[in-house]
Amino acid sequence: MSFCECLKAYPEGSASASRLALTAKGLGYSSLIICNAEPQKVFRPDAASAVKGVRVILGAEVTAAHPKALKSRISALRARYPFLMVRGGTDEIIKVASEDPNVDLLMHPCAYDARRSLSIATARAARLNKVAIGFDLGALVHLRGSSRARWLEAARRNLLVARKFELSVAITAGALSHLDLKAPRDMIALAMVAGFEREEAEDALRLPERLVDLNMRAWTSPGVELL
Amino acid sequence: MRSRLPVLRARRRYMVFELEAEDTVSAKDLMNEIHSAQFSLFGDAGACVNRLKLITFNGKRGLLRCRHTHIDDTRAILATIFLINGIRVALHSKGVSGTIKAATEKYLPQLGKISDETDGRRIELKEVSGCIIRTHGLKIDLCPDDRNKTKGSDTRYLGLTSFDLSGGHEDADGTADGL
């Protein structure tokens, strides 16, 4: 039971890191990763370590206006933070993120437009560079009616491609406040509505912490670890 | 219709859930929202298989009856609720049991309640300032002076803890220098 959640803390969200940690501990998470776009501005990250029983990891969400800036930002942030997430907004951003081995998690949009679903080229690049594909279940919570039906269809389609290419999959609630956090069982139930198998959803919830543990080890080159 | 044969009786499970809200929510509003979330997610056909009934609700915790084969669906329904009558809420399922008695004994604690406290104290920090709406143990809900602070997340209040305000003292109760 080592479930993990990626979220945003104050000032980008509306709850401080320690409040998120306190709520996550109550819900049964063992760790959480704070993925703010400006991680150096997180409000009192040291206060979160006062909450015992939950590990708070400071990661970063990489945002950039255009692909070239994204590349340089990724390499700048990689050395400082053990977890890098990219929210795929445009096709170019998705392409660059999936081709960069420094990216840990690519939050792929689940859009109805068939051209913007998880493409074969992206999936192949993500597999080659070990980039995990993230599903933001916040849409399942916040949307209603036909827009949610469209989201569900796109999510199922993306999941099929991810399964076909054996990509690592992660799920998050896209939490911006402590009220957005869901218990791990609730997250698994939501993921099952979106077409996940139970084991798949459990693995998807464990994935971010596993990635952080891998990144925190000292790798000198691919496959060679400094002990 | 009531069946006399025990094998034909519908098997039920009782789910204990906890409500975290920015304001008080009535049982009627909650049930309306649960039903609307169920119809929205599973439709009328799904709702007829999994008839939900609210057994008790005390404003904070409640007991919901569901079908024994649809526990995960019920969890998903509760997880999709985020707004009741304009009040931002979060519903967390705590546990499932086969009888009301077992569910109450296992998951509905009678003792050790920490009640909400309301005080008019203010917080003035460099990053954040505002009025404390309520405190609940270590948790503090703050109404920020600058409304744009809670913009993208639909919440009215900022969630803080006394760790954020204690200025490095682990045992501080939030009354140290921040307040």
Closest CA to B90 of B39, B148, B153, B152: B153
pLDDT band at B172 (very low <50, low <70, confident <90, very high): very low
Q: How many CB atoms lie within 10 A of CB A95?
A: 16
Is the ipTM higher than 0.95? The answer is no
Q: Which residue has the tokens 């919901």?
A: B64
What pLDDT is recorded for position A195? Answer: 94
3-class SS of residue A31? strand
pLDDT band at A114 (very low <50, low <70, confident <90, very high): low
Burial class (CB in 10 A: 0-12, 13-18, 19+), A73: middle
> What is the tens place of the pLDDT at every residue in B98-127?
999 999 999 987 765 667 777 778 888 878
- In total, chain A counts a number of residues equal to 227
CB of B20 less than 8 A from some CB of A: yes
> What is the tens place of the pLDDT at every residue in A203-212?
999 999 999 9
**Rounded-to-integer distance, Cα A26 and Cα A3, Å:** 13
If you average pLDDT over residues A112-141, what whole number do you get?
87
3-class SS of residue B21? strand
Please indicate whether residue A72 or residue B119 has the higher confidence score (pLDDT): A72
CB of B155 less than 8 A from some CB of A: yes
Binding-face residues of A in 20-59 toward B, CB within 8 A? 20, 22-23, 27, 43-44, 47-48, 50-51
- In total, chain B counts a number of residues equal to 179
In degrees rounded to 5, what are phi and psi of residue B30?
A: -60, -45
Mean pLDDT of chain A: 90
Domain boundaries, chain A: 4-225
If you average pLDDT over residues B2-17, what whole number do you get?
86
Percentage with pLDDT > 70 across chain A: 98
In degrees rounded to 5, what are phi and psi of residue B117?
A: -120, 140
Q: Which residue of chain A is at minimal alpha-carbon distance from B88?
A: A179
pLDDT band at B179 (very low <50, low <70, confident <90, very high): very low
What pLDDT is recorded for position A51? Answer: 87
What pLDDT is recorded for position B170? Answer: 46
Task: Give the minimum alpha-carbon distance from B145 to chain A in angstroms, rounded to a whole number.
Answer: 13
CA angle A159, A165, A170 (to 5 degrees): 45
> What is the tens place of the pLDDT at every residue in A15-55?
999 999 999 999 999 999 999 999 898 888 888 888 888 99
**Rounded-to-integer distance, Cα A18 and Cα A24, Å:** 10
**pTM score, whole prediction:** 0.90
What pLDDT is recorded for position B174? Answer: 42
Task: Compute the Cα dihedral for A9, A14, A18, A20 and give only its sign.
Answer: negative
Q: What is the distance between the terminal CA atoms of chain A, rounded to a whole angstrom?
A: 27
* Helix A146-164 and helix A120-128, axial crossing angle in degrees, nearest 10: 50
Residues of A in contact with B150 (CB under 8 A): 14, 177
Please indicate whether residue A102 or residue A222 has the higher confidence score (pLDDT): A102
If you average pLDDT over residues B16-36, what whole number do you get?
94
Q: How many contiguous H segments (helices) and E segments (strands) does chain B have?
A: 4, 9
Paired strand residues for A15: B159
Report the CATH fold assignment for A4-225.
TIM Barrel (3.20.20)
CB of A149 less than 8 A from some CB of B: no
